[in-house]
Amino acid sequence: MTSSAAYLVPALAVGVPVGIYALFLGLVSIPYIQRFAVYSHKINTLWWPPHNPNRPERWGFAKNQVTPFPLHTLDHQTLYAWHILPLGLYIRHESALAAQDRSSTDGGGGFVPDITTTVNFQLLRDDPEARLVLYFHGNAGHITQSIRPRSFHALTSVSSKIHVLAIDYRGFGLSTGSPTEQGLILDARAAVDWATQVACIPPERIVLLGHSLGTAVAAATAAEYCCTSEAEAGCCSSDDGTEPNRDGDDDHETRVTTKPMEFAGIILVAAFSSLPTMLSGYAIAGWIPVLRPLSYWPWLLGKIISRIVDKWPSAERLTRLTRSAKTAGRRLNLTLIHARDDWDIPYHEDDELFKGAVRGLVQADLGVGNEYETGEQENEDDDERERIRREEEREVESCVESLLEKEKGKKTVERWMGDVKKESERAFVTTWEDGEVCIRQELWPHGGHNHLMYYALVPMAVIRAFGLAD
């Protein structure tokens, strides 16, 4: 008995955690459970009455400064949205704004079914100097959870011209539906279309701002509206090239942009290059590994990664975005902001995004990439086309690595945020300009995963994108 116990205890000590981990891997291979874990959209505080988002005053906003209202997507989902007035503008029109009676509206005293009837909407639509930030938040929670209200305050306090439109994606908060990659892209399209077609704000007065998961949404949206052709946009197709299930509804087919938009800026805060890449090294709270243990068995890691249903290939989308802008000579202002002490998404993911953006510029210079996406080589057989594609990829990658090694350091300014020049206090700002394309990367020593959103860094990036800085 003593001998059996001596083996049983170690076996249980090893076997139980391994069994639980294997069960976890099996469960997250199921698309429904996987999406529940990735988006965490049901983790929220809506069950607690004080967190009713229809009463924005509870988060420090002035009476009727915020208008909660519905947005409708092309596939017939209803999104919950906030339009937030800049504080300076609110103060100038406080009497008219506060006098609006919303006590009889739906949703508990603040929700407005038709925002076009409000003074708030008129102040946005009728002001030729108005700027609009489309805010795409991260996973989990809803529009008023975590740091989101503080970041709204920060954005609307720096200028009397900057409005904010924030949405809860499908399945989040009070929005209908369930989240998927294609679904969230349609949600972002609903926000852009409302801003440009209903509020009549031209793209050059709009900034796309994404945080965490929202950076993937913003990158996909930018490629959707800013690329030359449907094939280049590629946003409504997954990483493996498959098209989403349209359920027979032609109303929300892939958007073809005949005249690409030029947004004032695209700002990605705490971004990741792609979901499979990020998850392969991800650790919850920075210390509970998810897929990292599988790195010892690359074949098994590859199998698990292949079962990730929503890819969110942001680095590839930035490549298409910068290539299209450079080729067409269009203006593109892209800013990447990350904290080096981010425990959730490591800052080296930001380097991969920067590299992806530069790769697009190199592809444009070499004249590669576009012909395969637009089908210009369809007369060649598959093997020959694949061989040429791989040769071009190797050539481009070699050029990108060489270019970054030679030039990035020259374009980077280092700063120390403390009194002592320690590595932990060092910040980097890289500005890469090529024609009308400007890529700016900011790596800051502090801020973690969330706090950068209400530090001065993000509002100042917005100010810079809008050209409002002195």
Lowest mean pLDDT among 18-22, 124-128, 133-137, 377-381: 377-381
Which segments of 167-212 does DSSP mark as H helices, in order? 181-193
Polymer length of the chain: 470
Say yes or no to pLDDT of 254 above 70.
no
50-54, 87-91, 111-115: the lowest-pLDDT one: 50-54
Pairwise CA distance, residues 217 & 136, whole Å: 7
* Residue owning tokens 């708030």: 120
Highest mean pLDDT among 110-114, 128-132, 382-386: 128-132
Mean pLDDT estimate for the chain = 85
Please indicate, yes or no, if residue 396 is contained in any of the structural domains: no
Residue 57 in any domain: the answer is yes
Give the Cβ contact number of residue 252 at 10 Å. 18
Instruction: Please tell me the distance from the alpha carbon of residue 240 to that of residue 315, in angstroms, as a whole number.
Output: 14
The H or E element containing residue 268 is strand 265-269
In a domain, 94, yes or no: yes
Q: Is 383 part of a structural domain of the chain? A: no
Domain count, the chain: 1
Of 114-118, 145-149, 176-180, 275-279, least confident by mean pLDDT is 275-279
Alpha-carbon distance of 153 to 157, in angstroms, equals 6
Does 355 fall in a domain?
Answer: yes
The CATH number for 351's domain is 3.40.50.1820
Confidence of residue 233 (pLDDT cuts 50, 70, 90): very low
The first and second tokens of residue 470, run together, are 């002195």
pLDDT of 155-195, one tens digit each?
A: 999 999 999 999 999 999 999 999 999 999 999 999 999 99
- Asked if residue 307 is part of any domain, the answer here is yes
Res 230: pLDDT: 44
Q: Would 462 be classed as within a structural domain? A: yes
- The whole-angstrom separation of Cα 269 and Cα 272 is 9
Look at residue 193 and tell me if it is in a domain.
yes
Q: Identify the DSSP state of 209.
A: E
Q: Give the residue from 208, 229, 204 showing the smallest Cα distance to 220.
A: 208
Q: Determine the structural domain holding residue 322 and report its residue range.
A: 2-241+264-367+412-466
